[in-house]
């Protein structure tokens, strides 16, 4: 049964069928082969039940928030301000890419939106400053992945819904690892540029008056971040309501700066509808697939197989990391989460791992999938913005950051309190 499932899945991927359609076809195929009952009749109820989940309303809000930041020019102004503060570091603007991605991640909740937005405003600087194009592209692709680790995060909402885990606790758990991972990305650039100074480009000169004058451009993302995250932990709003507050804050700032035009707002709404429709199509198809594989007993079969291996908790974690590393090369991250987390997470919790900690590990593994070929979505986003050359340049540039993410998984495995300290501290003070 498991082998047949994998064969059908690989076949659908090889045919380049859209992810949502592929998951739906896989579910229908397994139902036709292994079920005596017409499981397809449950599709309507599953679609209705899934789309009625109140937590998922946060997804279009966070997508809209990112769109407003991009269309109103706030993201570009933020990046230009950061450029003035880091020219003294070896690697210069590549550190700006990472910091800008981290700041944008703290408002958008989407890795693709983060990579696309920062890439749009940063790529013109490659040739101007003589940077290594490959490494520069790698910082945007890898930095963009921070969008789903630093809260708020759309993928964390999905994980919380799939595993019935507290989303505010997941947000808290992702904050410190997100900051550490961004720091490790920057250290990676620093080390590479110290070893090979020619890759670091020409340093940009900035005066202190210029830096101080640019500081107000860093405030909008911080205001929005505190509106979203602060409202949750002050007990003023749920995760979904906080996303709406973030949109209101972004609209107010854009209007105050006179950048909220009708054209920009319509473009933001159109982009939001397109992205939300894609995400919801994947979620609905994946939920139907999960219903089918549970009904035909595949979930139990996988559980029994893993249990029969007699692995220790450490060995099980290594197997899971390798599993996601390989699967992430061929599947889109959101569909991969929805298709596998309901099976893998209970096994890991049964092995003694904390559900919140494992959520952070899963998110980092999803980040890893975004920059591993051949299906790493951020690689294609950055290459699409570049509009020339070969995607090999982006892949090679992102490779050092793949190793950095694996290092981060190892660090969290040895010191899980890095992810768990804030949630436990908040619970203790609450």
Phi, psi of 206 (to 5 degrees): -140, 140
Nearest to 219 by CA among 252, 182, 187, 186: 252
Backbone angles phi, psi at 200, to 5 degrees: -85, -5
Q: How far, in Å, are 72, 127, 245, 370, 398 from residue 376 at the CA level? A: 28, 25, 32, 4, 10
Question: What is the gyration radius of the CA atoms in the chain, in angstroms?
Answer: 22
6 or 163, greater pLDDT: 163
Q: How far apart (Å, rounded) are the C-alpha atoms in residues 81 and 100?
A: 10
pTM for the model stands at 0.84
User: Is 364:177 a contact under the CB 8 Å cutoff?
Assistant: yes
Q: What are 338-364's pLDDT values in tens digits?
A: 878 988 999 999 889 999 999 999 999
| Confidence band for 20, pLDDT divided at 50, 70 and 90 | confident
Q: What pLDDT digit, counting tens, does each position of 39-73 carry?
A: 888 888 888 887 777 777 888 888 888 888 888 88
Whole-number Å distance between alpha carbons of 64 and 59: 9
pLDDT above 60 for 399: yes
Of 179, 168, 190, the C-alpha closest to 102 is 179
Residue 421 pLDDT level (bands cut at 50, 70, 90): very high
From 70, 68, 78, 71, select the one nearest 251 (Cα to Cα). 68
> Which of residues 399 and 57 earns the better pLDDT score?
399
Give Cα 40 distance to the centre of its chain.
Answer: 31
Percent of the chain with pLDDT over 90: 28
CA 163 to chain centre: 18
Q: Is the pLDDT of residue 261 over 80?
A: yes
Q: Where are the alpha helices (DSSP H) in 257-312?
A: 262-295, 298-308
DSSP single-letter state for residue 203: P
Mean pLDDT score, 182-206: 85
| Four-CA torsion 81, 82, 88, 91, nearest 10 degrees | -130
Least reliable range by pLDDT among 136-140, 216-220, 286-290, 415-419: 286-290
Gap between the Cα atoms of 96 and 86, Å rounded = 7
pLDDT in the model for residue 2: 63
Q: What is the model's pLDDT at position 127?
A: 66
Return the pLDDT at 47. Answer: 81
Kindly report the backbone phi and psi dihedral angles of residue 124, in degrees, each rounded to the nearest multiple of 5, phi listed first: -65, -15
148, 155 in Cβ contact below 8 A? yes
Answer whether residue 99 shows pLDDT above 80: yes
Q: Is residue 327 within 8 Å of 336, Cβ to Cβ?
A: yes
* pLDDT, position 277: 85
Q: What is the pLDDT of residues 143-184, one digit of tens each?
A: 999 988 998 888 898 899 889 999 989 999 999 999 999 999
276-293: string of b/e by CB count within 10 Å (b at 16+)? bebbbbbbbbbbbbbbbb
CA distance 226 to 389: 40
Closest alpha carbon to 232 in 154, 172, 174: 172
Of residues 33 and 406, which shows the higher confidence score?
406
Give the Cα separation of 131 and 126 in Å (integer).
Answer: 5
Q: What's the length of the chain? A: 430
Using one digit for the tens of pLDDT, what is the confidence trace for 202-219? 767 778 888 899 888 888
Q: Say yes or no to pLDDT of 19 above 80.
A: no
Task: Give the end-to-end CA distance of the chain in Å, rounded to a whole number.
Answer: 47
Question: Residue 412 contacts by C-beta under 8 Å, 6 or more apart in sequence?
Answer: 177, 357, 360, 361, 364, 418, 419
Question: How confident is the model at residue 165, as a pLDDT?
Answer: 92
Which residue ranges make up each domain of the chain? 11-429
Distance, CA of 25 to CA of 9 (rounded, Å): 9
Whole-angstrom CA distances from 61 to 50, 65, 286 are: 17, 6, 22
Instruction: Report how far residue 59's alpha carbon sits from residue 38's, in angstroms, rounded to the nearest whole number.
Output: 32
């Amino acid at each position: 049964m498991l082998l047949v499932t994998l064969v059908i899945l690989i076949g659908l991927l090889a045919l380049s069928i859209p992810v949502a359609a592929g998951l739906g076809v896989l579910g229908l195929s397994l139902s036709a082969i292994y079920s005596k009952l017409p499981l397809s009749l449950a599709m309507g109820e599953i679609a209705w039940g899934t789309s009625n989940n109140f937590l998922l309303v946060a997804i279009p809000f966070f997508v809209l928030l990112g769109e407003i930041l991009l269309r109103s020019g706030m993201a570009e102004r933020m990046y230009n301000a950061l450029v003035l503060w880091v020219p003294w570091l070896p690697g210069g603007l590549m550190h700006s890419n990472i910091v800008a991605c981290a700041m944008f991640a703290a408002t958008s909740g989407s890795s693709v939106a983060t990579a696309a937005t920062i890439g749009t405003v940063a790529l013109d600087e490659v040739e101007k400053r003589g940077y290594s194009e490959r490494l520069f592209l790698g910082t945007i692709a890898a930095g963009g992945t921070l969008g789903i680790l630093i809260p708020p995060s759309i993928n964390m909402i999905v994980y919380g819904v799939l595993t019935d885990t507290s989303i505010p606790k997941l947000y808290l758990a992702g904050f410190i690892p997100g900051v550490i991972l961004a720091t490790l990305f920057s250290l990676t650039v620093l080390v590479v540029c110290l070893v090979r100074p020619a890759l670091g480009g020409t340093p940009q000169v900035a005066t202190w008056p210029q830096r101080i004058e640019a500081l107000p451009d860093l405030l909008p993302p911080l205001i929005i971040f505190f509106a979203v995250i602060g409202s949750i932990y002050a007990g003023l709003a749920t995760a979904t309501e906080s996303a709406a507050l973030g949109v209101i804050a972004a609209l107010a700032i854009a209007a105050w700066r006179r950048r909220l035009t009708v054209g920009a707002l319509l473009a933001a709404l159109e982009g939001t509808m397109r992205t939300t429709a894609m995400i919801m199509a994947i979620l609905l198809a994946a939920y139907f697939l999960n219903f089918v594989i549970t009904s035909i007993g595949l979930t139990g079969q996988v559980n029994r197989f893993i249990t029969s291996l007699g692995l220790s908790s450490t060995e099980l974690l290594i197997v899971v990391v390798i599993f996601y590393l390989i699967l992430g090369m061929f599947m889109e991250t959101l569909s991969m989460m929805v298709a596998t987390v309901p099976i893998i997470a209970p096994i890991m919790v049964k092995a003694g791992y904390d559900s919140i900690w494992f959520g952070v590990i899963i998110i980092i593994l999803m980040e890893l999938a975004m920059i591993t070929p051949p299906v790493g979505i951020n690689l294609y986003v950055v290459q699409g913005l570049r509009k020339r050359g070969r995607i090999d340049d982006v892949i090679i540039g992102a490779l050092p950051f793949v190793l950095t993410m694996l290092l981060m998984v190892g660090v969290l495995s040895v010191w899980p309190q890095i992810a768990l300290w804030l949630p436990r501290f908040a619970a203790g003070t609450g």
